[in-house]
Chain A
Amino acid sequence: DVVMTQSPLSLSVTLGQPASISCRSSQSLVYNGGNTYLIWFQQRPGQSPRRLIYKVSKRDAGVPDRFSGSGSGTDFTLKISRVEAEDVGVYYCMQGTHWPLTFGGGTKVEIK
Protein backbone atom coordinates (compact mmCIF):
# COMPACT_ATOMS: atom_id res chain seq x y z
CA ASP A 1 0.00 0.00 0.00
CA VAL A 2 1.11 3.58 -0.60
CA VAL A 3 2.15 5.25 2.63
CA MET A 4 1.36 8.95 2.95
CA THR A 5 3.60 10.75 5.44
CA GLN A 6 2.61 14.20 6.63
CA SER A 7 4.76 16.65 8.52
CA PRO A 8 4.70 18.28 10.91
CA LEU A 9 2.22 16.44 13.16
CA SER A 10 1.14 19.78 14.57
CA LEU A 11 1.64 23.44 13.81
CA SER A 12 1.13 26.44 16.08
CA VAL A 13 0.83 29.59 14.00
CA THR A 14 0.39 33.28 14.80
CA LEU A 15 -2.64 34.86 13.15
CA GLY A 16 -1.71 36.38 9.81
CA GLN A 17 1.45 34.31 9.46
CA PRO A 18 1.99 31.60 6.82
CA ALA A 19 1.81 27.86 7.37
CA SER A 20 3.06 24.96 5.29
CA ILE A 21 2.23 21.24 5.49
CA SER A 22 4.25 18.58 3.72
CA CYS A 23 2.87 15.29 2.37
CA ARG A 24 5.16 12.63 0.94
CA SER A 25 4.07 9.40 -0.74
CA SER A 26 6.00 6.12 -0.82
CA GLN A 27 5.32 5.80 -4.56
CA SER A 28 4.80 8.26 -7.38
CA LEU A 29 1.21 9.48 -7.59
CA VAL A 30 1.36 10.15 -11.33
CA TYR A 31 -1.31 8.05 -13.02
CA ASN A 32 -1.01 6.51 -16.51
CA GLY A 33 -2.86 9.37 -18.17
CA GLY A 34 -0.61 11.96 -16.59
CA ASN A 35 -2.97 13.11 -13.83
CA THR A 36 -1.87 13.12 -10.20
CA TYR A 37 -4.63 12.26 -7.75
CA LEU A 38 -3.62 14.07 -4.58
CA ILE A 39 -6.31 15.70 -2.46
CA TRP A 40 -6.15 17.93 0.62
CA PHE A 41 -8.91 17.99 3.23
CA GLN A 42 -9.63 20.23 6.20
CA GLN A 43 -11.47 18.87 9.23
CA ARG A 44 -12.56 21.51 11.72
CA PRO A 45 -13.32 20.37 15.28
CA GLY A 46 -16.56 18.40 15.42
CA GLN A 47 -17.16 18.58 11.67
CA SER A 48 -16.96 16.27 8.67
CA PRO A 49 -13.93 16.58 6.40
CA ARG A 50 -14.09 19.23 3.69
CA ARG A 51 -12.18 19.03 0.42
CA LEU A 52 -9.92 22.02 -0.19
CA ILE A 53 -7.66 21.01 -3.08
CA TYR A 54 -7.83 18.23 -5.66
CA LYS A 55 -5.43 17.02 -8.37
CA VAL A 56 -2.56 18.62 -6.41
CA SER A 57 -3.40 22.26 -6.99
CA LYS A 58 -7.04 22.78 -8.03
CA ARG A 59 -8.81 24.79 -5.34
CA ASP A 60 -12.46 24.02 -4.61
CA ALA A 61 -15.13 26.70 -5.08
CA GLY A 62 -15.57 28.66 -1.88
CA VAL A 63 -12.10 27.86 -0.56
CA PRO A 64 -10.21 31.08 0.22
CA ASP A 65 -7.32 31.81 -2.11
CA ARG A 66 -4.93 31.88 0.85
CA PHE A 67 -4.94 28.07 0.48
CA SER A 68 -2.74 26.64 -2.26
CA GLY A 69 -1.47 23.21 -3.21
CA SER A 70 1.68 22.30 -5.09
CA GLY A 71 4.06 19.45 -5.76
CA SER A 72 4.63 16.52 -8.05
CA GLY A 73 5.60 12.84 -8.06
CA THR A 74 5.97 11.97 -4.38
CA ASP A 75 6.33 15.37 -2.74
CA PHE A 76 3.39 17.71 -2.08
CA THR A 77 2.69 20.83 -0.03
CA LEU A 78 -0.36 22.67 1.27
CA LYS A 79 0.29 26.34 2.06
CA ILE A 80 -1.82 28.83 3.93
CA SER A 81 -0.52 32.29 3.09
CA ARG A 82 -2.01 34.05 6.13
CA VAL A 83 -3.58 31.90 8.82
CA GLU A 84 -6.96 32.98 10.16
CA ALA A 85 -8.83 31.74 13.24
CA GLU A 86 -11.24 29.70 11.10
CA ASP A 87 -8.32 27.64 9.76
CA VAL A 88 -7.94 25.77 13.06
CA GLY A 89 -8.37 22.03 12.55
CA VAL A 90 -6.67 18.95 11.16
CA TYR A 91 -5.47 18.76 7.57
CA TYR A 92 -5.16 15.49 5.67
CA CYS A 93 -3.66 14.58 2.33
CA MET A 94 -5.00 11.56 0.43
CA GLN A 95 -3.81 9.72 -2.65
CA GLY A 96 -6.27 8.41 -5.23
CA THR A 97 -3.81 6.94 -7.73
CA HIS A 98 -3.22 3.50 -6.23
CA TRP A 99 -5.58 0.98 -4.60
CA PRO A 100 -6.28 0.99 -1.75
CA LEU A 101 -6.67 4.73 -1.35
CA THR A 102 -4.69 6.04 1.60
CA PHE A 103 -4.67 9.11 3.81
CA GLY A 104 -1.83 10.85 5.56
CA GLY A 105 -1.89 10.83 9.35
CA GLY A 106 -3.02 14.44 9.61
CA THR A 107 -1.51 17.77 10.69
CA LYS A 108 -3.17 19.71 13.48
CA VAL A 109 -3.15 23.47 13.02
CA GLU A 110 -3.72 25.70 16.01
CA ILE A 111 -3.34 29.38 16.74
CA LYS A 112 -0.42 30.49 18.86
Chain B
Amino acid sequence: QVQLVESGGGVVQPGRSLRLACAASGFTFSNYGMHWVRQAPGKGLEWVALISYDGSQKHYGDSVKGRFTISRDNSKNTLHLHMNGLRPEDTAVYYCASGAVAGDEAFAVWGQGTMVTVSS
Protein backbone atom coordinates (compact mmCIF):
# COMPACT_ATOMS: atom_id res chain seq x y z
CA GLN B 1 0.00 0.00 0.00
CA VAL B 2 1.00 3.64 -0.37
CA GLN B 3 3.24 4.58 2.54
CA LEU B 4 5.56 7.33 3.72
CA VAL B 5 7.87 6.68 6.68
CA GLU B 6 9.90 9.50 8.23
CA SER B 7 13.08 9.02 10.24
CA GLY B 8 16.03 10.97 11.58
CA GLY B 9 14.39 13.01 14.32
CA GLY B 10 15.92 13.46 17.74
CA VAL B 11 17.26 15.94 20.25
CA VAL B 12 19.79 18.44 18.94
CA GLN B 13 21.47 21.53 20.37
CA PRO B 14 20.72 24.99 18.99
CA GLY B 15 22.91 25.86 16.02
CA ARG B 16 23.53 22.26 15.08
CA SER B 17 22.33 20.34 12.01
CA LEU B 18 20.07 17.38 11.40
CA ARG B 19 18.93 15.46 8.34
CA LEU B 20 15.48 13.93 8.09
CA ALA B 21 14.51 11.20 5.66
CA CYS B 22 11.17 10.05 4.24
CA ALA B 23 11.01 6.61 2.63
CA ALA B 24 8.25 6.16 0.06
CA SER B 25 6.67 2.91 -1.09
CA GLY B 26 3.60 1.69 -2.94
CA PHE B 27 3.63 4.37 -5.64
CA THR B 28 5.92 5.75 -8.36
CA PHE B 29 7.86 8.20 -6.20
CA SER B 30 9.64 9.84 -9.14
CA ASN B 31 6.31 11.05 -10.59
CA TYR B 32 5.31 13.19 -7.61
CA GLY B 33 6.30 16.42 -5.94
CA MET B 34 6.90 16.05 -2.21
CA HIS B 35 6.45 18.30 0.82
CA TRP B 36 7.64 18.70 4.38
CA VAL B 37 5.14 20.07 6.89
CA ARG B 38 5.79 20.59 10.60
CA GLN B 39 3.71 20.94 13.74
CA ALA B 40 5.11 22.44 16.95
CA PRO B 41 3.81 20.85 20.17
CA GLY B 42 0.18 21.85 20.71
CA LYS B 43 0.20 24.12 17.65
CA GLY B 44 -1.12 24.10 14.10
CA LEU B 45 0.38 22.94 10.83
CA GLU B 46 3.15 24.88 9.07
CA TRP B 47 4.25 24.16 5.52
CA VAL B 48 8.06 23.89 5.30
CA ALA B 49 9.16 23.01 1.77
CA LEU B 50 8.29 21.46 -1.59
CA ILE B 51 10.45 19.72 -4.18
CA SER B 52 9.19 18.94 -7.66
CA TYR B 53 9.07 15.38 -9.01
CA ASP B 54 12.49 15.69 -10.67
CA GLY B 55 14.14 17.94 -8.09
CA SER B 56 14.38 20.91 -10.46
CA GLN B 57 12.11 23.19 -8.44
CA LYS B 58 12.19 23.90 -4.73
CA HIS B 59 10.15 26.27 -2.57
CA TYR B 60 10.50 27.09 1.11
CA GLY B 61 8.55 28.65 3.91
CA ASP B 62 9.78 32.02 5.17
CA SER B 63 10.89 30.72 8.57
CA VAL B 64 13.28 28.10 7.13
CA LYS B 65 14.52 29.76 3.94
CA GLY B 66 18.33 29.81 3.84
CA ARG B 67 18.65 27.27 6.67
CA PHE B 68 16.82 24.17 5.41
CA THR B 69 17.35 22.32 2.12
CA ILE B 70 14.94 19.82 0.61
CA SER B 71 16.32 17.12 -1.68
CA ARG B 72 15.34 13.76 -3.11
CA ASP B 73 16.90 10.57 -4.44
CA ASN B 74 14.49 9.03 -6.93
CA SER B 75 16.69 5.95 -7.31
CA LYS B 76 16.11 5.21 -3.60
CA ASN B 77 12.55 6.53 -3.31
CA THR B 78 13.70 8.85 -0.54
CA LEU B 79 13.04 12.47 0.37
CA HIS B 80 15.36 14.44 2.65
CA LEU B 81 15.27 17.61 4.69
CA HIS B 82 18.67 19.02 5.64
CA MET B 83 18.27 21.37 8.59
CA ASN B 84 21.11 23.73 9.50
CA GLY B 85 21.33 26.40 12.17
CA LEU B 86 18.55 24.82 14.20
CA ARG B 87 16.66 27.02 16.65
CA PRO B 88 14.40 26.15 19.59
CA GLU B 89 11.42 27.31 17.51
CA ASP B 90 12.17 24.53 14.99
CA THR B 91 11.04 22.01 17.63
CA ALA B 92 8.17 20.13 16.01
CA VAL B 93 6.88 16.92 14.51
CA TYR B 94 8.01 16.87 10.88
CA TYR B 95 5.75 15.17 8.35
CA CYS B 96 6.40 14.36 4.72
CA ALA B 97 3.44 14.46 2.35
CA SER B 98 3.03 13.61 -1.30
CA GLY B 99 1.75 15.33 -4.39
CA ALA B 100 2.40 18.47 -6.41
CA VAL B 101 0.25 21.40 -5.36
CA ALA B 102 -1.58 21.64 -8.67
CA GLY B 103 -2.28 17.93 -8.95
CA ASP B 104 -5.22 15.98 -7.60
CA GLU B 105 -2.76 14.11 -5.37
CA ALA B 106 -1.62 17.18 -3.44
CA PHE B 107 -1.14 16.23 0.23
CA ALA B 108 -3.15 13.02 -0.28
CA VAL B 109 -0.67 10.84 1.62
CA TRP B 110 1.14 11.69 4.86
CA GLY B 111 3.71 9.91 6.96
CA GLN B 112 3.45 9.34 10.70
CA GLY B 113 5.95 12.11 11.48
CA THR B 114 9.31 12.32 13.23
CA MET B 115 9.93 14.51 16.29
CA VAL B 116 12.73 17.07 16.31
CA THR B 117 13.60 18.75 19.60
CA VAL B 118 16.06 21.65 19.61
CA SER B 119 17.32 22.23 23.12
CA SER B 120 20.54 22.76 25.01
Contacts and interface: CB of A to CB of B under 8 A. Distances in A.
Interface of A: 1, 31, 35, 37, 39, 41, 43, 48-51, 54-55, 58, 60, 90, 92, 94, 96, 99-106
Given A41-B45, A103-B44, A49 B104 contact: no
Given A1-B62, A55-B104, A101-B59, 8 more contacts: A31-B102, A48-B111, A54-B106, A54-B108, A96-B101, A100-B62, A101-B35, A102-B47
A48 B45 contact: no
B86 to A, nearest CB: 20
Contact of A100 (B44, B61, B108, B111): B61
Given A41-B45, A94-B45, A103-B44, A48 B95 contact: yes
A39 to B, nearest CB: 6
A47 to B, nearest CB: 9
B107 A94 contact: yes
A99 to B, nearest CB: 5
Contacts of A104: 44
B112 interface: yes
B101 A37 contact: yes
Residue among A43, A49, A100 with most chain B CB within 10 A: A100
Interface string B32-47: 0001010000001111
Contact of B44 (A55, A58, A105): A105
A76 to B, nearest CB: 16
Contacts of B107: 39, 41, 49, 51, 54, 94
A104 B111 CA distance: 21
B53 interface: no
A90 B97 CA distance: 18
